[in-house]
Structure 1
């Protein structure tokens, strides 16, 4: 399957005008900012989970999420994907809660980025537009409003359509996904 979303180092650490890697203090996903001669066409996501957003004063909504819980899966995200069905997306899973920021490099579809804290409460929602051919210096970034343990990406408009926003609870069916060892 094709995929997206570039993750950024630290709470948006600027590196010579470029932003790269995952949030927090780690830089294990920093290489994501570089372009490869042949872009990846798939993410090796091994499983999906169902999760429900518990919407106050609205109807709860269940989604099916591909689990990006390994370094390379988080680097690739939903890059190069041409479509994404309603109520399906990807959940990025981190070892510990940390400030994170995403970009839309090599992303072809608009997305809602839903940043979720370790207590599985939505911190904030960012409505992201594709920037498939942008240079690193041109990329708009979409940060979390606090320390995120999970980031859920769904088709843009999902949050507005369903009422998902700050304070909404995310409940995983079964045990929440965890980070897998990167060997």
Structure 2
């Protein structure tokens, strides 16, 4: 095989551009027609981590969730909004990527964080009544240092 260094730079550039496009909100909208917004995870030390989320606030969008996705880029996710506080139960039917879920109170406090396995039918239940659920790529909360008790800001009411 012959290595051509003149082709390498454009090739690397193309891979970089493709990576950036895949992490952008336009990529998310290509997967669904849900609105995209930025919310902020706030650690107890005040560190803020922005997350681009698709907003699932209807029965249909909440039922569909992240089903049938082949990728959920780091720094993105789906925010599920409910009309009232309640015990929430999620599962991973037809969801092909490993996810982590945070159950969040109406005040924006993270109550629970659980990891979920692709295509599992095992119910993942909140430990108390909550208003929101946030799904992100599995391990994201650990990577950025978010824990139960931390906050989400920028939540719609």
TM-score (norm 2): 0.76
Please say if residues 44 and 73 of structure 1, whose CA atoms lie closer than 8 Å, have aligned partners that are also in contact.
Answer: no
1:58 is displaced (CA, Å) by: 6.9
State the partner residue of 2:91.
103
Please say if residues 128 and 156 of structure 1, whose CA atoms lie closer than 8 Å, have aligned partners that are also in contact.
Answer: yes
State the partner residue of 1:4.
none
Please say if residues 58 and 163 of structure 1, whose CA atoms lie closer than 8 Å, have aligned partners that are also in contact.
Answer: no
1:177 is displaced (CA, Å) by: 2.6
Q: Deviations over 1:146-179 (max 9, x none)?
A: 111110000000111112121101001xxx335x
Aligned mate of 1:114, from 85, 102, 107: 102
Structure with a larger share of its residues in helix? 2
Q: Give the Cα separation in 2 of the matches to 1:152 and 1:117.
A: 11
Q: Give the Cα separation in 1 of the matches to 2:82 and 2:46.
A: 29
Q: Give the Cα separation in 1 of the matches to 2:62 and 2:33.
A: 10
Please say if 1:144 is aligned against 2:126. yes
Please say if 1:160 is aligned against 2:131. no
Q: Give the Cα separation in 1 of the matches to 2:101 and 2:43.
A: 17
State the partner residue of 2:68.
80
1:145 is displaced (CA, Å) by: 1.7
Structure number with the bigger relative contact order (C-alpha 8 A, sep ≥ 6) is: 1
Aligned mate of 2:82, from 86, 90, 94: 94
In our comparison, the structure showing a higher alpha carbon Rg is: 2
Runs (5+) with no aligned partner, structure 1:
1-41, 179-183
1:98 is displaced (CA, Å) by: 0.5
TM-score (norm 1): 0.66
Runs (5+) with no aligned partner, structure 2:
1-30
Q: Give the Cα separation in 2 of the matches to 1:103 and 1:80.
A: 13
| Ranges of 4+ aligned residues in structure 1 off by more than 2 Å | none
Q: Give the Cα separation in 1 of the matches to 2:32 and 2:63.
A: 9
Q: Give the Cα separation in 1 of the matches to 2:135 and 2:59.
A: 17
